A and B are shown apart, each in its own frame.
Chain A
Amino acid sequence: MKGARGKGLGARAGESAPVLRAVSWLVYAFLYAPIVVLVVFSFNAERQTAVWKHFTFDWYRVLFRDELIGHAVVNSLLVGVMATVVATVIGTMAGLALARHGFRGKRVTISLLYLPVIVPEIVVGAALVSLFGFIAMRLSLTTVILAHVAFSISYVALVVRARLAGFDRSLEEAAMDLGANRWQTFWWVTLPLIAPGVMSGALLVFTLSIDDYIITSFVAGPGATTLPLQIYSMVKTGVTPEINAVSTLLLVVTIGLIAAAQRLETARR
């Protein structure tokens, strides 16, 4: 780099750019203000308007006694865990196969994996409910789990595949040379190496699952209300501080989970 010269849009890191800086701060404010407002007002004693009265935990207390929400949380956890287990196992196999083997139809398989990421959620929901109607399968918690597996396998496969990009195959060959069979090699060598990617994929699936509204709203049967469905029906009947409280809790959980996933993914790269 040569000496200091050039102002405005000619770029140099650390160089002052007051207008750009101000605009960026405004955008950051736009991104965070709604979340901060939501959280702050979950502790506001005033029920009707957005005028600050005084601090309270009341809405959280109401929440913990709300049976509908309790039931929805149980459903969401059940769906989340089941979908995570199934999608992680299948997605990991797909990711491994894609990263290591050249096989016929590999490009088509990659396209297939990208489909759930690309097709609008509303279409996925409509298509799945068409399938369940076609085979006369009653909508229930099972159909919700199947739907969540369908839309999340791809994310696991793509994360695992990315993780394996710089994978040293000689480690596996060494294990085999030393007399390990294929299964032992997988269990003691391959799996520990890809574990961070698998875990981060699993956390991602769990987050997508407990967050999903659109697809779930199509395929959930009576009694299969998940937390987002419950929140949605509450929102539709009117804004209340309880919704702020439950939203705040959901925010904390999802941010925590994804932060953990990110740490795993960047760990020991």
Chain B
Amino acid sequence: MSPTWLVLGLLFLVPLVIMLWLSFQHRGLYGGIEPGPTLANYVRSFESGYAIIYARSVWIAVATTVICLLVSYPVAYYIALKARPERKNLLLALVVIPFWTSFLVRTYAWMFILRDQGVINSLLMSLGVTHEPLPLLYTPLAVMIGQVYAEVPFMVLPIYASLEKLDRSLLEAARDLGASAAAAFWRVTAPLAMPGTVAGIVLVFIPSLGTFITPDLLGGAKGMLVGNLIQNQFGPALNKPFGSAVAMTLTVFVLALLWAYAAWARRRGEEVVL
């Protein structure tokens, strides 16, 4: 076990501790640091100019999660309960394959589609629907599309796993006892599939909070999210202490969410997915 501890300790735990320490230092000239300790970085990160970045990140992550849920549920349901058994594996693989490919390449594909000379605008203009290209790229909508696109498989798979396991005779019993199809779904299927649904929500929400490539490539200059703020402070802004404070805040938030999820799952006696 010790090589793992040595490597992950040196290359994972120690860096996090150094970053924690950095977050309490002052910023020095030319990207250096002045000894602290100070809480100024944390205080500053919650001032209005930066708080709005946190708020925007949470909002994008929530919207991504909700849209992913709406998009993924029917697919998971179809594969688990409606598709012919011999086709299930193929249908599942088809959901997963795009996720194997480079995140960067997938995001670039949306740039190619949404930009002014892109596929959608070229099509619309050649059909004469519009004469000016529609502003699609560098908008919050573009970020949302890219994010949903990247996260859909993480929602489909756990929901599918839950639906696949559920005892179908319960559904038949509900219908025999006179429940409508909708009532059977809301009162039997959905509650039974709750563990997978919650796991999917966690699996989509958390990476969306810290996303960087999507807002950087598809969002405009005004669409900065937490991920971009951290990169900016470590890069061009030359302010590692402040960037560290933001990164620590994000990490603590993510770990707290996971802890809450694990506690919820354990209380229900469910298997914790992560």
Residues of A within 8 A of B100 (CB): 207, 254-255, 258-259
- Tell me, yes or no, whether A150 is within 8 Å of chain B by CB: yes
Task: Decide if B14 touches A131 in the complex (CB within 8 Å).
Answer: yes
Chief secondary structure at chain B's binding surface = helix
Q: Could you tell me how many residues of chain A have their Cβ less than 8 Å away from some Cβ of chain B?
A: 89
- By CB atoms of chain B within 10 A, which of A8, A35, A105, A127 has the most? A127
Asked whether B75 lies within 8 Å of A24 as measured between CB atoms, the reply is yes
Query: Is the pair B244, A24 in contact by a Cβ cutoff of 8 Å?
Result: no
Q: In the assembled complex, which residues on chain B have CB atoms less than 8 Å from the CB atom of A239?
A: 108, 111-112, 115, 117-118
Q: Which of B119-162 contact A (CB under 8 A)?
A: 119, 121-123, 126, 149, 152
Chain B residues bordering chain A, tally (CB within 8 A): 87
CB of A126 within 8 A of CB of B244, answer yes
Decide if B22 touches A37 in the complex (CB within 8 Å): no
- State whether the Cβ of B63 lies closer than 8 Å to any Cβ in chain A: no
User: Does chain B have a CB within 8 A of A128?
Assistant: yes
* B184/A31 in contact, CB under 8 A: no
B112-A126 in contact (CB<8A): no
| Closest B residue by C-beta to A120 | B210
Q: A6-B181, A24-B78, A232-B104 are in contact. Are A122 and B231 (CB under 8 A)?
A: yes
A-binding segment of B5-13, B46-54, B263-271: B5-13
Selected from B8, B117, B226, B255, the residue in CB contact (under 8 A) with A50 is B117
Q: Are A6 and B19 in contact (CB under 8 A)?
A: no
Residue B274 is within 8 A (CB to CB) of chain A in the complex? yes
- Report yes or no: B240 in contact with A130, Cβ–Cβ below 8 A: yes
Cβ–Cβ < 8 Å partners of A197 in chain B: none
Residues of A within 8 A of B152 (CB): 27, 30-31
Q: Are A126 and B19 in contact (CB under 8 A)?
A: yes
**B234–A218 CB distance below 8 A:** yes
Residue pairs across A and B with CB atoms within 8 Å: the count is 262
Residue of A23, A32, A154, A236 touching B98 (CB-CB under 8 A):
A32
> In B217-262, which residues have CB < 8 Å from any A CB?
217, 226-227, 230-231, 234, 240, 243-244, 247, 250-251, 254-255, 258
Which residues of chain A are within 8 angstroms of B14 by Cβ–Cβ distance? 131
Contact among A27, A120, A129, A133 with B207 in the assembled complex (CB-CB below 8 Å): A120
Query: Given the known A-B contacts A38-B108, A214-B212, are A94 and B4 also in contact in the complex, defined by CB atoms under 8 Å?
Result: yes
Residues of A contacting B55 in the complex (Cβ-Cβ under 8 angstroms) = none
Contacting pair B181 A120 (CB below 8 A): no
Bound Cα distance from A115 to B16, whole angstroms:
11
**Is B110 interfacial (CB-CB < 8 Å)?**
yes
- For A8, give its contact among B108, B115, B181, B255 (CB under 8 Å): B181
CB distance from A233 to the nearest CB of B (A): 11
Q: Which residues of B contact A129 (CB under 8 A)?
A: 234
Residues of B within 8 Å of A97, CB to CB, are 1, 4
Contact of B109 among A11, A20, A38, A146 (CB under 8 A): A38
User: How many angstroms between the C-alpha atoms of A243 and B112 in the bound complex?
Assistant: 10
Residues in B neighbouring A128, C-beta threshold 8 A? 11, 15
Report yes or no: B11 in contact with A13, Cβ–Cβ below 8 A: no
Measuring CB to CB, which residues of chain B are less than 8 angstroms from any residue of chain A? Answer: 1, 3-5, 7-8, 11-16, 18-19, 22, 71-72, 74-75, 77-79, 81-85, 91, 94-95, 97-98, 100-106, 108-113, 115, 117-119, 121-123, 126, 149, 152, 168, 171-172, 174-175, 181-182, 184-185, 189, 206-207, 209-210, 212-213, 217, 226-227, 230-231, 234, 240, 243-244, 247, 250-251, 254-255, 258, 274
